[in-house]
Amino acid sequence: MIERLTITQLAENVASSPGLLGEHGAAFFIEADEHCLLLDTGQGLTLLHNAERLGLALERVTAVALSHGHYDHTGGLDAVLERTGGAMDLYLHPEALAPKFNRDGRSIGSPITDLEALRPRVRRLIVSTEPVEIRPGIQLSGEIPRRHAIEDTGGPFYRDAARTEIDDLPDDQALIIDTLPGLVVVLGCGHSGLINTLDQVQTLVPGRPIRAVLGGTHLLRASAERLDFTVRALEGFGIDYLAPNHCTGLAATCLLRQHFPRQFHESPSGTVHRFGAST
**164, containing H or E segment:** none
**Which residues form the domain of 123?**
4-276
Please say if the pLDDT value at position 279 is more than 60: no
What string of H, E and C letters represents the secondary structure of 71-98? HHHHCCHHHHHHHHCCCCEEEECCCCCC
Does the bond joining 206 to the residue before it have cis omega, within 30 degrees of 0?
no
Please say if the pLDDT value at position 16 is more than 90: no
Task: Provide the whole-model pTM.
Answer: 0.97
Number of domains observed in the structure of the chain: 1
For residue 130, the domain's CATH number is 3.60.15.10
**Count of alpha carbons within 13 Å of 243, Cβ hemisphere only?**
25
Question: Is 36 within 8 Å of 30 (Cβ atoms)?
Answer: yes
d(CA 43, CA 112): 12
Query: Over the stretch 197-231, which tens digit does the pLDDT of each residue have?
Result: 999 999 999 999 999 999 999 999 999 999 999 99
Query: Over the stretch 17-47, which tens digit does the pLDDT of each residue have?
Result: 899 999 999 999 999 999 999 999 999 999 9
**Count of alpha carbons within 13 Å of 186, Cβ hemisphere only?**
29
